[in-house]
Amino acid sequence: MSSQAINSSVSKVIRPLSMDKLNGGQKLAVHYFTVAMILFMAQLLFGLLAGMQYLMPDFLYNTLDFNVNRMVHINAMIVWMLYGFIGSIYWFLEDESGVEIVGLKWGKIAFWVLTVAVTIVVLVYLLVQTGSGTKSSIWLINEGREYIEAPRWADIGIVAVVLVFFYNVAATFSKGKWSGIAGVLTLDLVALAGLYIAGMFYTTNISVDQYWWWWVIHLWVEATWEVLVGCIMAWSLMTLLGVRRKIVQTWLYIEVALMFGSGILGLGHHYFWIGTPEYWLTIGGFFSALEPIPLVAMVVHSIYDSGVHHFKTRNHPAFAWIIAHAFGNFFGAGVWGFMHTLPQINLYTHGTQWTASHGHLAFFGAYATINIAFFYLAVQKMRGDCWMGGNMPDNGWKWKAAMVLLNLGVVGMTVALLIAGYEQSFIERAVEGSTWGGYFAAQSHPWFIQAMVWRMVFGVMTFIGGILLFWDLLTIGKYEPRPAVGVSQ
């Protein structure tokens, strides 16, 4: 169709945003995606507040302190990504298994229970903030452990909800057909949920505490989450590009072997300095240094398949975010992770802005991207499977701009934090020997302050990208007259 023809039909076609064409699992997925997107915006907002406090320490001092803002920032991130993953799996569960979801009703109840719990937890974070030094603070207010701050009552709720989800996945595949993807996914979910329980006990001993805490955090992001997105990627490549199942599944097994083979013992890169024995210096250094290999494999595999299929796809924004995922995962986790993973360098970079630089690029590149891709798959179907590409009625400017701003924003923040990290590692750690005085000498150095300013500039860019993304998800395809052109599956 010529562009004139599109333009002349613009005013005539209005596609409603509707759930009519969605299967049961997909309807539920849309619920999860909606909350995920709202929490993503909350994450960005509280990131801005925390980042601002680096520049203006009096900003919200004793009202919404840095620790509160940061807790909401990173906890919202973990929760929205888990929502996104659950949604993504519900999204393709019926297609992949060939049958309807077994316990959809329970799935819906679980969604509402989880969402109410998350709301209460966030309100308590913001309004109560901290408690006295008692067990009940940990049970009711917050656990005070990074990323898994949710109080214990909420942990138990989360486990219950995840069990319902797991039941739905396992039982639906059992009733329908088991594929290679189904098998890997199911086993991976067992591990993912089981690991959460490793983070659910209190101990006085900080070394033992951090030992198990890293089981949750590391074995999530560098093992089970990585395999989970491998499954999601496998399915996406089949759907978006029409890659053959045999090929994606073989790749999936290779990736599982490489990822678990390096990532499980790679856990040792967090056991260098927490009191654990010296052999972890060798084991952790060696295995974690291998972790980039599966990430390279994933890039090669997705780009190669894309090339073979001539990058032809019915959903350009989703596909672009999938490619962003492949590269983001490789650079954020693989390259930025590798940069500080050997103990010889980690002795100086451990717990500096260097870590924050890596954390931002890795979480965004590996996990935010692929969830955003699924948001686009969902809105496409909700708009009656319309065409989604660069040549939409408004030239698709919103999805393109959101994509550029978000990626550029996060990369910009990553580079700013890396510069701050270099400076901090040198001045505070190497020169000053990590005293409080040394810490502040590094924090007040002009290089550090400049880096923090640039982080804010790029943070605002990221935030604008987020707003555009939100707006685009609500509007994309509304005036698109053409149906999506299917790919062979």
Partner 1 sequence: MNENRPVWASESFWKKVAVWVTAGSFVILIFLTFDSISQITAGGSRVAAYTVINKKVTYRFDKTKNRYQPVILDQDEPLFGQMLDEKQAYELVNLGKLTIQAKNCMNCHTLLGNGAYYAPDLTKAWLDQGWGTAASREMLMLQFLQNPGKYARTYGTNRKMPQLGITEKEAKGIIAYLKWMSTIDTNGFPNNFTAIDAEED
Q: Which residues bind ligand HEM (CB under 6 A)?
A: 44, 47-48, 50-51, 70, 73-74, 77, 146, 221-222, 269, 288, 291-292, 329, 333-334, 337-338, 340-341, 346, 350-351, 355-356, 358-360, 362-364, 366, 368, 410, 459, 462-463
Q: What is the dihedral of CA 57, 61, 64, 68, to 10 degrees?
A: 60
Number of alpha carbons in the 13 Å side-chain half-sphere of residue 450 = 6
Smallest gap from Cβ 155 to partner 1, in A, equals: 14
Site for partner 1 contains 274 (CB under 8 A): yes
429 Cβ neighbours under 8 A, 6+ residues apart: 347, 348, 349, 352, 438
Instruction: Give a three-class secondary structure readout of 145-180.
Output: CCCCCCCHHHHHHHHHHHHHHHHHHHHHHHHCCCCH
**Strand runs (DSSP E) across 98-159, as ranges?**
none
Instruction: Please choose which of ligand HEM, Fe ion, partner 1, none residue 340 contacts, taking the beta carbon within 5 to 8 angstroms, the exact cut-off set by kind.
Output: ligand HEM
Question: In angstroms, rounded to a whole number, what is the distance separating the alpha carbons of residues 330 and 343?
Answer: 21
350 forms part of the interface with Fe ion (CB under 5 A): no
Instruction: Verify binding: residue 314, Fe ion, rule CB under 5 A.
Output: no
Q: Does 358 bind Fe ion (CB under 5 A)?
A: no
Q: Binding to partner 1 by residue 360, rule CB under 8 A? A: no
> Around Cβ 381, how many Cβ atoms within 10 Å?
22
The binder of Fe ion chosen from 27, 73, 218, 455 (CB under 5 A):
218
361 interacts with, out of Fe ion, ligand HEM, partner 1, none, CB within 5 to 8 A per kind: none
Residue with tokens 């992949």: 96
Is residue 278 at the binding interface for partner 1, with CB under 8 A as the rule? yes
DSSP-derived 3-state class of residue 216: helix
Residue 433 binding partner 1, by CB under 8 A: yes
**Would you tell me how many other CB atoms lie within 10 Å of the CB of residue 143?**
18
* Site string (194-233) toward partner 1, x via CB under 8 A: --------xxxxxxx-xx-x--------------------
Instruction: Give the C-alpha distances (Å, rounded to integers) separating 206 from 276, 399, 473.
Output: 11, 45, 44
Q: At closest approach, how far in Å is the CB of 128 from partner 1?
A: 11
Residue 150 Cβ, how far from ligand HEM at the closest point, in Å? Answer: 16
Please state the closest distance from residue 424 (CB atom) to partner 1, in A.
8
Closest CA to 485 of 385, 407, 393, 402: 385
Cα 452 to Cα 439: distance, rounded to the nearest angstrom: 15
Residue from 135, 175, 177, 312 touching partner 1 (CB under 8 A): that is: 135
Which residue number has the CB closest to Fe ion? 218
Cβ proximity to ligand HEM: between 71 and 121 the closer is 71
**Binding at 48: pick from Fe ion, partner 1, ligand HEM, none (beta carbon under 5-8 Å per type):** ligand HEM
How many residues make contact with partner 1 (CB under 8 A)? 87
Provide, rounded to whole angstroms, the least separation between the CB of residue 285 and Fe ion: 12
d(CA 340, CA 269): 9
Within 220-239, the residues that bind Fe ion by CB under 5 A are 222
